[in-house]
Each structure stands twice: as C-alpha cells, then as structure tokens.
Amino acid sequence: MNADARACMLAHAAVLRHAGLRAEALDLCDRLIAAAPADTHPVQLSCEIHADGGENALALARIEAALSRGVVTGALLERAGALAHACGDVVRAVAFWQRGLSVDPALHEAAMRLAVVAIADGRPDDAARLLDRMCAVGSETADRTMSAAMLLRHFGHDAAAEAFVDVYTALAPDTPERTHRLASLGRGPVPMRASADYVRHMFDGAAASYDINLLAIDNRGPRILASAMSKAGLAAGAGLRVLDAGCGTGLCAATVRPVADRLIGVDLSADMLAKAAERGQYDALEMLDIVDLGSAFPHCADLIVCMDVLPYFGDLDPVFTAFRKAQANGGYVITLIEDLSGAEACRFLPSGRYRHDRDRLIASARAAGFAPPTVEFCDTLRLEYGQDVVTRCVIFGP
C-alpha cells in the first residue's frame, strides 16, 4: 500500500470515527499499522478512538505496542503519560513524561504535567526549574511562559509566578490575548468578558489539536449534555430546531443530532467551525458571537445547547438576553457554568475563564425573563492540572 492510499484510508477512518462507527474505524487503523508499522498516525487515531469511549487502558495499550515495535516519539510518550495518569498510575505517567522529554525536550504538556506532580509532592522549586527549562526550549516562548505563570498562580505560588509574568509581559506582542492574559494574573482591570477578538484568536490557534487536548483532560461535556437531555425528556426523533451555541469543533453534535430536525452550529472561530464541518452533522454553521443569537435567529430555537461558553463571560446578562430572544415558545436551554462556592458571585481565574455561583446564574436568567430551571445538577466537566473542575448544568424549559 503506497503513501497516498494510506492517507486516504486514514482520512476514511477519521470520518468513521466522527460518525460513531468505532469498530470499523479501528479495523482500518489496524490494517494501516500492519501495512506501515512505523507510521504513528494510525496509532494516534486508534488511541483517540478508544479514548472517545473512555477506554483509556486500551488506548494506552495501543501506544505501548507501538513503543515495543521501536516507534518512539515524544508525542506518543507524552500521550502515554496522560493516559497512564487517567488510569490512576502516576508512577508510570511520570516515567512516560520523563522519557518523552529525553526524546524531545520541547514537549510542553509533559513538562507541565511533571511540574504539577512536583507541586503535589511538595517540591515547588523543582516545578519552577522544570518550567524554566520548558520556557527555554522550543518555539512560542511567550505562550510557554504564560502557561508556567498560570500553573504556579493556580496552585498559589504567586511569587514564583510573577517572574514568569514579567517575562511574558516583555515578550508578548500587544494583542487582545496579551491584555486578557495579563488581567487574569492581576496585571490589569478585570474585563466583563473574554473579548471576541481574544476568543477568536485563541481558538483559531487551538483548533488543530483541540479534540485530542480535551481527551487528555477527560472532557465530559458530551456526556453531561446526554445526561441533561435525558433528564429533560428529550428523546431521539423529537424533531427540534437546535442551536449549538459555541459549538467549537462539534464535540456535542453527535449527542444532540438525534433530537434535531435542523442543527445549526455557531462559533466565533473560523478554524473551529471548519473542524465542526468535517463531522458532517450540522445543517448549517455560522461564525457569530453568541450575544448576537437573538438578532440572527429570533425565536427560532426549540433547543439551545451552550456547553462550555459561559466560563468566558463575567457578566452573564447579555448571554441570557440572547438566549431568550432566540428561544422559540416552549423551547429549552441547556447550559453550564464552572460552579463557585463561597461568598463571591463571580471569580476571574488565572486561566482567563470565569467561575460563577448559582445565585448569579439564576439572577441573570431571571432578568432575561426565564423561569427557574426545571432541572439542575453538578458534575465534573474536566480536569485542570489533574484536579476536578466542577460544573453546574442547568435546564430552562417550558
């Protein structure tokens, strides 16, 4: 099988994966691995197919089989570490990450994960040294420096973080992203939201590896959406007009498609929308800020799904106003926040995201004309530096 034929087969396997035909996709990957054992692409794809289904041990076994054949790359070792960690084996994860850095010292995620382990072990100085080395190699030095500052600030090592913030301030060009990032680390006024320019720039840059990165942090957005739809009594064949607001690469499309007669995805990032189009699940895709939903789709949506967008807004009022204007009579809204407990109504995080308490969420919904939620529940949305990020999912319905 020549290289062109293998590329076509790999593309077809990716299409089958997005269509939910995991067994068929894995079969093609196995055939590709047999034809070209040194090619990492089918190994990576088969790994992600297993991870899609929560089969982290099987995904890890795929990589270990490749390593045993002598197919050793930093990227594979970095991914193996993430999978071993997801399986609860921190010792093996550390070994994979350390080996990965010996193969490719520029690995970003491996260095970050090892720094988290060092902090958890009470070795913050070791973490800072790891982060120093991470910032000294590879490209995108400003981005790496900001990642180091965010990690240290997240764990309360503010003094160490400040040194990295100083370097970032000197290196980063004057862009909306720089302004937002510095504000999240206390170097500027807290904005009311992540600006459209910042969001567009960030997600355009993240689109190519977005799905893989979310698997690495055990993103559970589609599972939370499926649970919410079940609790709301929304079943396949409902024939709804659905807006996927902030659809990204379309991770939730397969979950919501069965209830949709027409499914429209909306996002600010052109590159994320291009990835969403590859899934073949949407009837239309629009580049749009979700605060403009009401003017673009007035009273058109029987269901609005907005799964990980509110954390980019400090002020939720414009978002719920847009939801209300786009909602059809008797329609549903399913959305979520990063849940905040304590005296604060909203907290601006070092990650550049916002966390809200329940009362603030309900107040914004009420101000837009929504009745109290018909269903609400808490769950873990994803991991951040190995820690659970708790989300509150709410359903506003008829």
Closest CA to 293 of 269, 262, 331, 319: 319
pLDDT band of residue 137 (cuts 50, 70, 90) is confident
Cβ contact 243:304 at 8 Å: yes
User: pLDDT per residue over 285-344, tens digit each?
Assistant: 999 999 999 999 999 999 999 999 999 999 999 999 999 999 999 999 999 999 998 778
pTM here is 0.84
Portions of the chain given CATH number 1.25.40.10: 3-193
Residue type, 277: A
Instruction: Quote the mean pLDDT of the chain.
Output: 92
pLDDT of residue 21: 87
Vertex 378 angle, CA 331 and 262, to 5°: 30
User: pLDDT per residue over 28-49, tens digit each?
Assistant: 999 999 999 999 999 999 998 8
Portions of the chain given CATH number 3.40.50.150: 210-396
Sheet holding 240-245, edge to edge: 284-287, 260-267, 240-245, 301-306, 327-338, 387-396, 375-384
Six-digit token pair at 245?
A: 């607001």
The C-alpha atoms of residue 50 and residue 384 are separated, in whole angstroms, by 22
User: pLDDT per residue over 187-200, tens digit each?
Assistant: 999 999 999 999 99
Six-digit token pair at 267?
A: 């996002």
Cβ contact 266:246 at 8 Å: yes
Q: Give CATH superfamily name and number for 210-396.
A: Vaccinia Virus protein VP39 (3.40.50.150)
The C-alpha atoms of residue 164 and residue 147 are separated, in whole angstroms, by 9
DSSP letter, residue 269? -
pLDDT of residue 96: 97
* Residue appearing with tokens 């960690």: 85
The C-alpha atoms of residue 9 and residue 28 are separated, in whole angstroms, by 7
pLDDT of residue 19: 76
Cβ contact 228:218 at 8 Å: no
- Residues contacting residue 190 through CB under 8 Å, at least 6 positions apart: 183, 314, 348
Within 53-89, residue ranges assigned H as helices are 56-68, 74-86
Whether CATH 1.10.10.10 fits 3-193:
no
Six-digit token pair at 307?
A: 């799964």
Neighbours of 98 (CB within 10 A): 13
pLDDT of residue 213: 79
Six-digit token pair at 113?
A: 């994960």
Vertex 177 angle, CA 221 and 284, to 5°: 45
